């Protein structure tokens, strides 16, 4: 168990570099996920807005038709 807790430097310079870069890699991945989620939200929002607009236009056209008396 002590070996698992040993400093990354003990495993070599490459392992130490990876360990030092790990927080930055995680941050970059989180940023990418956030950007993708924001993009998806924009696409979904646009789709919902289009459906609402089409429904409103359809309702307006239907109510504009003359009704038989």
Cut 0.85: pTM above it = no
CA distance linking residue 42 with residue 39, whole number of Å: 5
Whole-angstrom CA distances from 22 to 9, 13, 27, 51 are: 14, 14, 9, 43
Which residues have C-beta within 8 Å of that of residue 15, sequence separation ≥ 6? 8, 9
Summarize pLDDT for 13-52 with one digit per residue, the tens.
777 777 888 888 888 999 999 999 999 999 999 999 999 9
Check whether 62 has a pLDDT greater than 80: no
Model confidence at 8, in pLDDT bands (50, 70, 90)? low
Is residue 9 within 8 A of residue 16, CB to CB? The reply is yes
């Amino acid at each position: 168990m002590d070996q698992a807790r040993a400093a990354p430097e003990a495993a070599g310079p490459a392992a130490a570099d990876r360990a030092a870069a790990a927080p930055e890699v995680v941050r970059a991945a989180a940023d990418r996920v956030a950007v993708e989620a924001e993009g998806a939200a924009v696409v979904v929002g646009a789709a919902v807005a289009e459906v609402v607009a089409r429904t409103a236009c359809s309702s307006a056209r239907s109510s504009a038709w003359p009704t038989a008396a």
